[in-house]
Amino acid sequence: MNHQTRLELTDNGTTLAIKMSEGNPGALRVIVELMKEGNWIDPVGMGGVGAVLMMDTFGIYGSRIWMLYKDVCNQDIIKTMAVIRGCQLGILNEHTMNAAIDGASLDTDELLTKVQERLGNFGQKDTAVRPANLN
C-alpha cells in the first residue's frame, strides 16, 4: 500500500508518539510499551523504534495501532512486535496484517513461532525478570 510516511529524522520520542498515536490514548500506550520493552523483545532488530518505524511504513496509526495490539494480539506486546516483524520479514504480507486489524483471523501464536525460527532470540527473556504485565 502506498502512502506518505509521517516520521522524519528530526522527530524525537515525543513528536514520534504524537504523530503515530493521532491522539488515541490506546495507541500512545502501545507506542510507550514498544519503546520501553522493544529492545529485549527484538535485540537483533532496532527494538521498539524499529517497530514504530515499520508501523509508519505500513501506514498503521492511531486507533489501528490499538486494534493491532488489543484485538489482533490480545494485548501481548511480544506478539504485536511479531506481527510487525513478520510483515517486515515477508512471513506475513501487509494485506493480511491490515485484514487482521480490520477483523480477519490471524494465528499470532503460529506467526510468533515463525518469527522466532528466523530471529532466534526474538521475545526470549528469562521469565523471572520479565515485567509482570507481559504474558
pLDDT in tens, 33-62: 999 999 999 988 888 999 999 999 999 999
pLDDT tens-place string over residues 62-88:
999 999 999 999 999 999 999 999 999
**Residue 45's pLDDT is what?**
83
Residue boundaries of the structural domains of the chain: 14-119
Please give the mean pLDDT across all residues of the chain. Answer: 90
Amino acid at 41: I
Dist CA 45 CA 48 (whole Å): 9
Q: What is the DSSP string of 73-90?
A: STT-HHHHHHHHHHHHHT
Q: What is the DSSP string of 11-79?
A: --HHHHHHHHHTT-HHHHHHHHHHHHHHHHHSTTTTHHHHHHHHHHHHT--THHHHHIIIIISTT-HHH
pTM of the model: 0.87
